[in-house]
Amino acid sequence: MSQARHIPQRTCVACRTTSDKREFVRIVRSAEGTVVADPTGKRDGRGAYLCASRACWEDALKKDRLARALRTAISPADREELQRYAEQIEPLGAAATA
């Protein structure tokens, strides 16, 4: 009888949905203080997870949920880079017609 393999669970900081770690995008605060998306999930630093949904990304950035989870202020340059990343992960989003 083989044991079921453990699948890591994570929670989206915006919508609070819990699911498999691989279904989320990790956002990491590096030691230098920059905040970047970490699609590999292996970068060093404090991490937070977001769904691959534009609504979650906008909510997390607008309401500072991501900044609170990472315990840092997100610079305007990092915020812009995260918004650019969000546009790439959900090309079917209705708000993506810019």
Name every residue whose Cβ is closer than 8 Å to that of residue 35 and which is 6 or more positions away in sequence.
Answer: 27, 28, 29, 66, 70, 72, 74, 75, 78, 79, 82
**What domain range includes position 24?**
9-91
Domain membership of residue 43 (yes or no) is yes
Domain membership of residue 67 (yes or no) is yes
CATH number at residue 85: 3.30.1230.10
Indicate the number of domains in the chain.
Answer: 1
16-36 residue pLDDT tens: 999 999 899 999 999 999 999
32-62 residue pLDDT tens: 999 999 988 899 999 999 998 889 999 999 9
Name every residue whose Cβ is closer than 8 Å to that of residue 23 and which is 6 or more positions away in sequence.
Answer: 51, 52
Domain membership of residue 18 (yes or no) is yes
Domain membership of residue 68 (yes or no) is yes
Q: For residue 54, give the nearest of 15, 22, 11 by alpha carbon.
A: 15
8 three-state secondary structure: coil
Q: What percent of the chain has pLDDT over 90?
A: 70
pTM of structure: 0.82
